[in-house]
Amino acid sequence: MAQFDMSINDTVLAAGASPTIGLMDKARALKAGGKDIISLAGGEPDMPPAEATLAAALARIQSRQVSYGPVAGLADLRAAIATDIKSRHGLEYRAQDVVVGIGAKQVLAEALMVGTQPGDEIIIPAPYWVSYPAMARLAGGIPVIVETSASSGFKITPEALKAAITPLSRWLILNSPSNPTGAVYTRSELAAIARIVQDHTRLLVLSDDIYEDILFDGNVHTTIASVDAGLIERSVLCSGFSKGHAMTGLRVGYAVGPEWLIKPMIDLQSHLTSGGCVVGQAASTAALREAADFPAQCVKTYSRRRGLGLGILKDSDRITVVPPQGAFYFWIDISRLLGMRSPTGSAMLTDTEVADALLEAGLALVPGSAFGLSPYLRMSFAAADEVIEEGCWRLVKFCNECTLATESGSVVTELPQQFGA
């Protein structure tokens, strides 16, 4: 019998699976097999949603209003989102300028798909959320990765943006607060970026604001369209309810933007998924109208956990952690560990090898290479206090017990100068 063709689309194959989800699955499998694993690899709030949102979801079910909803989202929710954007940013959007999707991930991908021609370049500051490059390729675009550094607060500078722009540039993706670094762009920083975007009429901005509610130390979230009215027609704001409102499993995200982009996104969605879950959308409407103070309550918890983790992590001088300005991740510099051996003797030349060795030691973290910048680890502090405490102590113990092999095979516990950072 002839062998049938088992070829898969090359672009889909190149995208692969999400590295963060893959690592979380691996940690779950090890834990199910009986291994003692603390997983701080994911990005999911550990608290339940507000009572008002749960009550709205239940009421929707009990009323038996669970048939297909409109492709673009329930009218009440779209109106509530437009009102919320006006309150947050002073931006005037109509309900029809909003599309509701199955999580923010969907609408981010849809925006890139409708605004990208084959071969267009999509500028992505690194470190980046792991799915941006894959989304760019699936949309037919070419990811242009622009590395940032600690000296710039892990934010793209106007000079770096200018250098990255070519006649093929189509999108700039901005994520503030950032996953994985927690960096927050200030209004003046966004204004400087906006001036450059204005000079390149083909360039659009995709603003991923999913962590907009989670801020520390007086930092303020700003979306780029609010600093330059000229960008309202050239930018798409994406957000959702998974992070600030702890509604991950209800899968509701949204995009707001000009009609010339939002309308084809709705059309595309009609072929991909149709409308999202009406139960989740009812809960999201209640989140905006009846539980607007819930994210601030969560931030108090995250702030305490942030302080708890930072207090423990300082007990190893082999790692460096800058307090995150927003989101709920520690972005940990592990450059001093490279060239060392783990407590069990494994060589560690990359952050991936450090993460693998840590997993053996019972702690699941994500290597910086998954986010396009090494050598770092991302650690979530969206977990119970005792889990964060145990995870941080495991990391400190691991770091302090690493050794450096000499040519003779003996080990030293102090790093030579060339490994300092």
Identify the CATH number of the domain in which residue 179 sits. Answer: 3.40.640.10
Same domain? For 40 and 71 the reply is no
Question: What secondary structure letter does DSSP report for 375?
Answer: S
Residue pair 203/234 in contact by the 8 Å Cβ criterion: yes
CA distance 61 to 68: 13
Res. 406 pLDDT band, cuts 50 70 90: low
State the pLDDT at residue 266: 98
Q: Do residues 165 and 40 both lie within one domain?
A: no
Can you tell me the mean pLDDT for 327-349? Answer: 96
**Cβ atoms of 387 and 38 closer than 8 Å:** yes
Per-residue pLDDT averaged across 382-389, rounded?
Answer: 96
**Count of other CB atoms within 10 angstroms of residue 349:** 12
Least confident of 5-14, 37-46, 187-196, 328-337: 5-14
> Is 61 inside a domain boundary?
no
pLDDT of residue 417: 38
246-258 pLDDT, tens per residue?
Answer: 999 999 999 999 9
The arithmetic mean of pLDDT across residues 233-252, rounded, is: 97
Specify which residues 329 forms β-bridges with.
380
Residues 212 and 325 in one domain: no
Tokens 């670094």: give the residue.
Answer: 181
Q: What is the pLDDT, as a whole number, of residue 405?
A: 63
Assigned domain for 161 exists: yes
Q: Residue 24: what pLDDT?
A: 75
Whether residue 408 has pLDDT greater than 70: no
Q: Go through 304-331 and write b for each residue having 16 or more CB atoms within 10 A of its CB, e for each that does not.
A: ebbebbbebbeebebbbbbebbbbbbbb
What's the average model confidence in pLDDT over 382-402?
A: 97
Q: Are residues 177 and 254 in the same domain?
A: yes
State the Cα angle at 189 between 188 and 194, rounded to 5°: 95
Query: What pTM value is reported for the model?
Result: 0.92
Mean per-residue pLDDT, 381-395: 97
- Look at residue 6 in the predicted model and tell me its pLDDT: 81
Number of structural domains found in the chain: 2
Is residue 54 domain-resident? no
Sheet hosting strand 376-380, strand order edge to edge = 320-321, 329-333, 376-380, 366-367
Least confident of 11-15, 80-84, 196-200: 11-15
The stretch 274-301 carries a mean pLDDT of 97
* Residue 54 clears pLDDT 50, i.e. is over it: yes
CATH number at 18 reads: 3.90.1150.10
Q: For position 33, what pLDDT does the model report?
A: 78
Question: Is the residue at 3 inside a domain?
Answer: no
Q: Which residues in 176-309 belong to E strands, given as ranges?
A: 204-208, 235-240, 253-256
Q: Of 255, 275, 294, which residue constitutes the final position of a domain?
A: 294
Helix axes 278-290, 51-62, angle to 10 degrees: 140
Q: Which helix (H) or strand (E) holds 170?
A: strand 169-175
Cα 283 to its chain centre, rounded Å, is 23
Same domain, 350 and 392: yes
**Is residue 331 one of the residues assigned to a domain?**
yes
Share of the chain above pLDDT 70, in %: 95
Same-domain check for residues 318 and 352: yes
Asked if pLDDT for residue 409 goes beyond 50, the answer is no
Q: Is 30 found in the same domain as 100?
A: no
Q: How far is CA 389 from the centre of its chain?
A: 23
Together in a domain, 265 and 148: yes
pLDDT of 171 > 50? The answer is yes
Q: Are residues 212 and 74 in the same domain?
A: yes
Residue 214: is its pLDDT beyond 80? yes
* Domain boundary pick from 260, 294, 328: 294
Asked whether residue 53 is assigned to any structural domain, the reply reads no
Contacts 24+ apart (CB under 8 A), 336-342: 336/415, 336/419, 336/420, 336/421, 337/375, 337/399, 337/402, 338/375, 338/419, 339/404, 339/415, 339/419, 340/402, 340/403, 340/404, 340/415, 340/419, 341/402, 341/403, 341/404, 341/405, 341/411, 342/398, 342/402
Q: For the ranges 182-186, 283-287, 414-418, which has the lowest average pLDDT?
A: 414-418
Which residue among 294, 314, 344 closes a domain?
294
Indicate if 147 and 261 belong to the same structural domain.
yes
Say what the pLDDT of residue 30 is: 76
Question: Is residue 60 included in any domain, yes or no?
Answer: no
Q: Which residue range is the domain that position 136 belongs to?
A: 67-294
Give the residue-averaged pLDDT of 254-270.
98
pLDDT for res 1 = 60
For residue 3, what is the DSSP state?
P
Based on the fold, state whether residues 326 and 226 are members of the same structural domain. Answer: no
**Is residue 205 a part of any domain in this protein?**
yes
Task: Tell whether 229 and 309 lie within a shared domain.
Answer: no
Q: What pLDDT shows up at residue 35?
A: 82
The position carrying tokens 């690592």 is: 23
